[in-house]
């Protein structure tokens, strides 16, 4: 939370501005008091200093209105009660503030000389407490905005966790199903697949225990290679994988299980239902200008109609799209290109890490 850090900073700035205003006002009033003397080439230094210092009680008294505004708000007074209290306090403030002037300069003065400055100090007080209440309202709005943002972050974190909990069992179930199918045809290959699967499971568990699902692209690619080696045991010569990787993008951070579900989707739809061989292409690139990472998985399968893709009940692509939306907003994108008989291609764009930290 940044509330404890930002609130003292805001108050410190407020009091610096408060002092600067009173000092500027005091200097202006002290010179304005001697305009006639300055026009005649005379300047009364002691009188200037006396005028300036006579404003100190007013500045100090008005500063005491700050804790008063806080007390009134904490006790929950209604608006009309707060206005009544401040009106009464304003006259007390005006009387105390005017005492130095009346003592020093009251000889032979008309009644208006007493009344107008008194009303002027009443207005000064009301203006000051009005500003104090606005500052407190701004602080309350700031705290509320921080609380709402924190609540929103908690909701997003909870939804991301739920999405990960959906995706992981989905991956585990599909992989175990592949191993079970392999045991019926090739028990030795199934044993090898189980060892391969243990490495993959360790990757998933490590991301869960770490408290963050961020991994590097290299780590995700290693996981995908393990997955494809397992699928290669089952599919054999039907699966041909082509890699086109950007070696400079290996340290790019991305959510775990961002690439594997894309590959799994192609295995499920382009290879499982068919006995003919096919090609699976995996491509990664990092944009030199923006630092954004793009990952593309393309297969030579039967493809699908875009309308059928949009209405498909599958979990993998929808989950990835939602995770990217929650993590990166509009700065991330997922694009699907396919048509009947034209294969299937899905591309994911993930912004650079420096963009992510400022989000």
Q: 3-class secondary structure for 262-323?
A: HHHHHHHHHHCCCCCCEEEEEEEEECCCCCCEEEEEEECCCCCCHHHHHCCCCCHHHHHHHH
The better pLDDT of the pair 349, 45 is held by 349
- Give the model's pLDDT for residue 311: 66
The better pLDDT of the pair 329, 160 is held by 329
This prediction's pTM: 0.53
- Give the model's pLDDT for residue 100: 66
- Give the model's pLDDT for residue 4: 47
Q: How far apart are CA 25 and CA 175, in angstroms?
A: 77
Confidence of residue 349 (pLDDT cuts 50, 70, 90): very high
| Mean pLDDT to the nearest integer, 118-146 | 85
What end-to-end distance do the CA atoms of the chain give, in Å? 16
- Give the model's pLDDT for residue 210: 59
Confidence of residue 359 (pLDDT cuts 50, 70, 90): very low
- Give the model's pLDDT for residue 350: 93
- Give the model's pLDDT for residue 318: 77
- Give the model's pLDDT for residue 216: 92
Specify the pairing of strand 278-286 against strand 239-244: parallel
- Give the model's pLDDT for residue 8: 66
- Give the model's pLDDT for residue 111: 64
| Mean pLDDT to the nearest integer, 326-353 | 88
- Give the model's pLDDT for residue 315: 60
- Give the model's pLDDT for residue 169: 61
Measured CA angle at 237 (ends 259, 267), to 5 deg: 30
| Mean pLDDT to the nearest integer, 132-141 | 86
- Give the model's pLDDT for residue 355: 45
Other CB atoms within 10 Å distance of the CB of residue 263: 23
pLDDT in tens, 4-34: 455 667 668 888 888 888 888 888 878 877 7
Percentage of the chain beyond pLDDT 90 is 15
- Give the model's pLDDT for residue 287: 93
What are the angstrom distances between the C-alpha of 298 and each of 17, 151, 161, 202, 332?
62, 39, 28, 27, 19
- Give the model's pLDDT for residue 356: 44
pLDDT at 279 over 80: yes
pLDDT in tens, 154-194: 555 555 455 455 545 666 777 777 777 777 777 877 777 78
- Give the model's pLDDT for residue 335: 92
Query: For every residue of the chain, which 3-state class applies, written as one string?
Result: CCHHHHHHHHHHHHHHHHHHHHHHHHHHHHHHCCHHHHHCCCCCHHHHHHHHHCCHHHHHHHHCHHHHHHHHHHCCCCHHHHHHHHHHHHHHHHHHHHHHHHHHHCCCCCCHHHHHHHHHHHHHHHHHHHHHHHHHHHHHHHHHHHHHHHHHHHHHHHHHHHHHHHHHHHHHHHHHHHHHHHHHHCHHHHHHHHHHHHHHHHHHHHHHHCCCCEEEHHHHHHHHHHHHHHHHHHHHHHEEEEEECCHHHCCCEEECCCCHHHHHHHHHHHHCCCCCCEEEEEEEEECCCCCCEEEEEEECCCCCCHHHHHCCCCCHHHHHHHHHHHHHHHHCEEEEEECCCCCEEEEEEECCHHHHHCC
- Give the model's pLDDT for residue 57: 80
pLDDT in tens, 196-249: 777 777 777 776 665 567 889 999 999 899 889 888 877 888 899 999 999 999
């Amino acid at each position: 939370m940044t509330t404890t850090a930002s609130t003292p900073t805001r108050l410190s700035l407020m009091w610096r501005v408060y002092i600067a205003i009173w000092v500027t006002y005091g200097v202006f009033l002290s010179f304005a008091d001697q305009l006639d003397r300055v026009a005649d080439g005379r300047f009364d230094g002691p009188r200037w200093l006396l005028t300036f210092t006579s404003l100190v009680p007013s500045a100090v008294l008005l500063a005491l209105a700050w804790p008063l505004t806080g007390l009134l708000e904490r006790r929950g007074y209604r608006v009309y009660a707060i206005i009544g209290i401040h009106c009464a306090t304003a006259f007390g403030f005006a009387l105390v503030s005017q005492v130095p002037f009346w003592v020093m300069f009251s000889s032979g003065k008309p009644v208006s000389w007493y009344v107008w400055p008194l009303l002027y100090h009443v207005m000064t007080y009301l203006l000051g407490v009005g500003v104090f209440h606005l500052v407190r309202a701004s602080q309350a709005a700031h705290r509320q905005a921080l609380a709402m943002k924190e609540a929103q972050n908690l909701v997003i974190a909870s939804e991301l966790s739920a999405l990960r909990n959906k995706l992981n069992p989905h991956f585990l179930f599909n992989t175990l199903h592949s191993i079970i199918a392999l045991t019926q045809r090739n028990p030795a290959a199934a044993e090898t697949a189980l060892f391969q699967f243990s490495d993959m499971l360790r990757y998933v568990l490590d991301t869960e225990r770490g408290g963050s699902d961020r991994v590097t692209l290299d780590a995700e690619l290693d996981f995908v290679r393990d997955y494809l080696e397992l699928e290669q045991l089952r599919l054999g010569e039907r699966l041909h994988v082509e890699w086109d990787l950007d070696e400079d993008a290996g340290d790019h951070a991305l959510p775990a299980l961002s690439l594997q579900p894309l590959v799994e989707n192609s295995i499920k739809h382009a290879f499982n239902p068919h006995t003919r061989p096919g090609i699976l292409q995996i491509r990664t690139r990092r944009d030199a200008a923006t630092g954004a990472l793009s990952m593309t998985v393309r297969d030579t399968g039967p493809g699908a109609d875009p309308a059928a893709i949009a209405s498909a009940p599958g979990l993998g692509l929808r989950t990835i799209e939602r995770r990217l939306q929650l993590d990166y907003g509009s700065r991330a994108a997922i694009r699907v290109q396919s048509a009947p008989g034209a294969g299937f291609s899905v591309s994911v764009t993930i912004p650079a890490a420096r963009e992510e930290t400022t989000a």
